[in-house]
Homo-oligomer: A and B are copies of this chain.
Amino acid sequence: MSIKDKVAIIGVGSTRFGELFEMSYADMVVEAAYQAYQDAGIEPDRIEAAWLGTANPGTSALDGDAGSSLAEPLNLYPRPVSRVASFCTTGMEAVRNAAFAVAAGEYDVVLVVGAEKMRDVPTRGSLVARHVLETHPYLCKGRTAPGQFALVGTRYMYTFGATKESLARVAVKNHHNGSLNPRAHFRNEVTVEQVVRAPMVAAPLGLLDCCPTTDGAAAVILARREVAEAMKSDYVLIKGMGFSVTGGYYNMQFQADNDFLGFRATREAAAMAYKQAGIKDPRKEIDVAECHDCFTITEIVNYEDLGFCAKGEGWRFIDDGVSTLEGDLPVNTSGGLKSCGHPVGATGARMVAEVTDQLRGRSGPRQVKDARQGLAHTVGGPGVLSCVIVLGRP
């Protein structure tokens, strides 16, 4: 048995991503969910169960702590609403757990919402500040996210001869895509020169190599395939899912299988998802992808880990323009984390929504021609968890 082709996506929605000081956590989840209801063409009452993905509960330590934070604003009472948390893979983990329940035949139509307030955190400070404050043995010694991914950047450039310009081209591409996405946090174009000359954060990563800190929510409605078929024609199917936890927990350097040139978690999760989907050559069989570009170097190693190109060839992949909107395998058509923004719990759901829209031909100026199969990918915490979901037209 396998969950392949048993679960359909029938509707998606998303807030604008950005500094949403004017919206509460509840405002965000309501906007995302009602867009998804409308897209699916269903009344809210049709939802039988829901999954909420929020990585770090909000200012009161209650927003997003449990399913109640979704059930209350949407009045889902008395339905079951689960909450999952899994660092940067949170949103996709919510989709994955919901998909199991649908594939098991427990529910016909379920809602998934990923949501995170990242800017609106006066009492807690940023994730990094919180970790430092709470004196984690590694993090309090400067192992912030930029600091950790910078190690991959340095090692990658040293080993394969990539330059800061190649890294910069990821930012240029994703800002261009974001400029076409009305929901993106950043909608400005940037140049290679601007990225390379930006203030340094953690060498070799400058300010424009880093994704922003963003508020946002995204929603996905799943249905049993037979139910979806009876409702509409423009649904997409989950073809394969993979989730992997690897590496030492914040002990990246002690892992024999970590060469600082990519992430084993991504390779394992992709292998699981490809096997389930029956994909042998992702370079040819994937038409569009959203991947986890928390930093520019991350997208480059993702190309390799996801099997889009050989090890050490990721920087040529972006240099050659293969992953641009006009290229052969467009990546992060949304603008990615880099430009669309990265509200941790929302990102995975937002990616699934973007790929769904691409496969339904609804992406407007960023539409990839005749996209039939795509994938969403997140990696997190730092590089120790990864989730890959392959979607396809029926």
Contact = CB atoms under 8 A, between A and B. Distances in A.
Contact of A66 (B81, B104, B381): B381
Interface in A115-144: 123, 130-131, 134-137
Nearest to A248: B72
Interface residues of A, number: 61
Could you tell me the dominant secondary structure of chain A's interface residues? Answer: loop
A78 interface: yes
Interface in A17-73: 49, 59-62, 65-69, 71-72
Contact of A62 (B61, B66, B82, B136): B136
Contacts of A190: none
A327 to B, nearest CB: 30
A86 interface: yes
A363 interface: no
Interface string A70-85: 0110001111111111
A66 B87 contact: yes
Interface stretch (A93-101, A214-222, A297-305, A370-378): A93-101
A384 B131 CA distance: 30
B3 A68 contact: no
A85 B83 contact: yes
Nearest to A243: B80
Contacts of A243: 49, 80, 82
B66 A85 contact: yes
Given A97-B82, A385-B66, A104 B245 contact: no
A343 interface: no
Q: List 8 A-B pairs, minimum CB-CB distance, nearest first.
A: A1-B105, A80-B243, A103-B104, A78-B268, A71-B245, A104-B104, A100-B101, A100-B100
13 contacts: A1-B106, A67-B86, A68-B245, A68-B249, A77-B244, A77-B245, A78-B246, A78-B265, A82-B243, A84-B84, A85-B85, A100-B104, A101-B104
